[in-house]
Homo-oligomer: A and B are copies of this chain.
């Protein structure tokens, strides 16, 4: 008999659920997706979660009658409200303090439910099946429409009392003063996200309007597109250096769509960190590309169950 985890990943545009085995593999046919989104009502969101979960669990019953779900791991877009399963995702305004953990528990009774911010799930996935296997002081990061992350410190995740630790996107970057959506200025996300990098290039005379076009222009030798990409990667490196000054990280694994904007994006980040200062405990922090596939967030949510000894 195999002990499976039910994994749920709640994001700003979709919710996914899947069954994940103790080796970190998604059970074939068990991954299901439903829409979420800014415009969704609370009922819409609850229905999407319910259907995705029921479809995922249905696949398990069909496929492997003698197996069982031993726990439910939920990775959610932030902010959270503590670590008891209540969520207030910034881009899902219908849910504020919504008891997502209780909803999913009602669908699959009598097993433990562990809810954490999605950055923590990604970080656990990197240490389990990704680019930070065996490491104990890790930040998993995503550079995409936003910039987010999660922390594993001394072998355990750190969510903090509100569950929201790991917001690397809202660490300030020296030499910048861009207005951030959070209300502050000079946050990494306001400098280095995909949309902000595209906007910077446009302000400096580049004519496109997407990350894909920016990547193409840079490959074609456009100096402004290239400068925009270097500006983003350098800022990411600066924020990682600040984080390592505080936390003495061993490795940072970076994924997310915009991290693929140039073949050497991760290299620029790594060089920025390696050359940042005279402090060896900062510059020795390794920066690597994420080792996760698109299943990473679900595998990470499952790690909340399969590797609960790492969950702080």
Q: Contact residues of A with B, CB < 8 Å?
A: 79, 136-137, 151, 153-154, 158-177, 180, 182-187, 238-239, 241-243, 245-250, 276-282, 312
| Chain B residue contacts of A238, Cβ below 8 A | 172
Contact: A183 with B277, CB < 8 Å?
yes
Given known pairs A137-B161, A242-B242, the reply for A170 and B279 (CB within 8 Å) is yes
Known contacts: A165-B247, A242-B242, A248-B165. The answer to whether A277 contacts B177 by CB under 8 A is no
**Min CB distance, A77 to chain B, in Å?**
14
Q: Verify A281–B183 contact, CB threshold 8 A.
A: no
- Of all chain B residues, the one with the shortest Cβ separation from A250 is B161
* Known A165-B246, A243-B246; contact A172-B172, beta-carbon cutoff 8 A: yes
What separation, in Å, do the CA atoms of A50 and B276 have in the docked complex?
37
Q: In the complex, how many angstroms separate the beta carbon of A172 from the nearest chain B beta carbon?
A: 4
Nearest neighbor of A154 in chain B, beta-carbon distance: B312
CB distance from A167 to the nearest CB of B (A): 4
Indicate whether A177 sits within 8 Å of B180 (C-beta atoms), given known contacts A164-B248, A281-B164: no
Question: Is A248 a contact of B159 with CB atoms below 8 Å?
Answer: yes
Residue of B nearest to A174 (CB): B186
Which residues of B sit under 8 angstroms from A185, Cβ to Cβ? 174-175
Q: Which residue of B lies closest to A235 (CB)?
A: B172
Nearest chain B CB to A255's CB is how many angstroms away?
19
Across the interface, which residues of B come within 8 angstroms of A278, CB to CB?
A: 182-183
* A245: B residues at CB distance < 8 A: 167-171, 187
Of B136, B158, B168, B279, the contact of A154 (CB 8 Å cutoff) = B158
Contact between chains at B243 and A281 (CB < 8 Å): no
Which listed residue, B166, B174, B180, B280, touches A172 by the CB 8 Å rule?
B174
